Amino acid sequence: GSAAFSSRGAFILLEGLDRSGKTSQCERLLAFLTDRQIPAEIWRYPDRRTTVGKMISSYLSKKSELDDATIHLLFAANRWEKREEMEARLRSGCTLIVDRYSFSGIAFSAAKGLDLDWCKAPEVGLIAPDAIFYLQIPPEIAAGRGQYGEERYERLSFQKLVAKQFENLMNDDGRWHVIDAQKGIDEIQRHIQELSLPVIERCHQGAPLLDMR
Ligand code: Z5A
């Protein structure tokens, strides 16, 4: 019937600082949905497997240098090169649990001092998430969850600036959910599950795909 025709998966995004617990929550949400026979998969950005992704990975591991504008555009290009596949997966009915996306792209570059509107521009026209879970954590607490590694950006002073940018990007359009990332892993997960199910249901009922604006 027409409902089946328009039925699609949901785009569920997790954002937050390094060590906020995104990966742990994505994995648990995938297990939960799979258990309930809801088709789902995890996507993460940057996708380090593509040609662009390899350039990003080399930059993050400090094996190469790029100016701030160039790396910003590469992160965006890494989303654009997956846009078509993302749309196809969603339209096939698969829910995508995504670990970082445009908001990380904008927050990290704006934290370096790049113009906010300039940072947002290359994201316009990408597929927009149906729900965004921002795992909110004081940067000092995140830093305490183990030694920062050797990657670029893994410094407390910079993470503080990024946190400020994330808080600026949130709005009250109903898609953003601020989650207290200091709670226990299971409690956070239950909260995310409760908020995700109605979103997935709406998408299955044919809610239109959204574009980043
Ligand atoms: N970046 C960018 O600049 N522009 C862009 O467009 C994009 C990204 C997409 C990629 O990092 C870097 O690129 C990133 C942003 C930038 N730089 N930084 N910072 P990545 O994706 O490779 O790494 P990450 O996202 O920062 O992942 P992470 O370090 O793995 O963090 P996480 O996924 O949020 O956390 P986790 O692995 O689930 O948990 C971390 C630890 O905390 C672990 O030991 C857990 O067991 C523990 N944990 C998790 N939850 C809890 C709770 N609730 N309580 C206590 N302990 C917990």
Q: What is the ipTM of this complex?
A: 0.96
Which residues have any ligand 1 atom within 6 Å of their CB? 16, 18-24, 45-46, 60, 75, 100, 104-105, 108, 145-146, 153-154, 181, 184-185, 188
Are 56 and 78 in contact by the 8 Å Cβ rule? The answer is yes
User: In this model, does residue 4 exceed pLDDT 80?
Assistant: no
pLDDT digits (tens, 9 = 90+) for 90-123: 999 999 999 999 999 999 999 999 999 999 999 9
Residue 123, pLDDT score? 98
User: In this model, does residue 1 exceed pLDDT 80?
Assistant: no
> How many residues make up the chain in this entry?
213
Which atom number of ligand 1 is nearest to the Cα of residue 76?
A: 6
CA 172–ligand 1 middle distance (angstroms): 25
Question: What structural domains and CATH numbers belong to the chain?
Answer: 2-211 (3.40.50.300)
- CA dist 69 and 81 (Å) reads 18
- CA dist 43 and 86 (Å) reads 9
The partner residues of 64 in beta bridges, in order of sequence, read none
Q: What percent of the chain has pLDDT over 70?
A: 97
Cis before 46? omega within 30: yes
Tell me the pTM: 0.96
Q: From 75, 145, 182, give the residue whose CB has the most ligand 1 atoms within 8 Å, as the site to mutate.
A: 145
Residue 3, pLDDT score? 46
Distances (CA, A) of 64 to 61, 93, 152: 8, 39, 11
Q: What percent of the chain has pLDDT over 90?
A: 94
Which atom number of ligand 1 is nearest to the Cα of residue 46?
A: 9
pLDDT digits (tens, 9 = 90+) for 122-167: 999 999 999 999 999 999 999 999 888 889 999 999 999 999 999 9
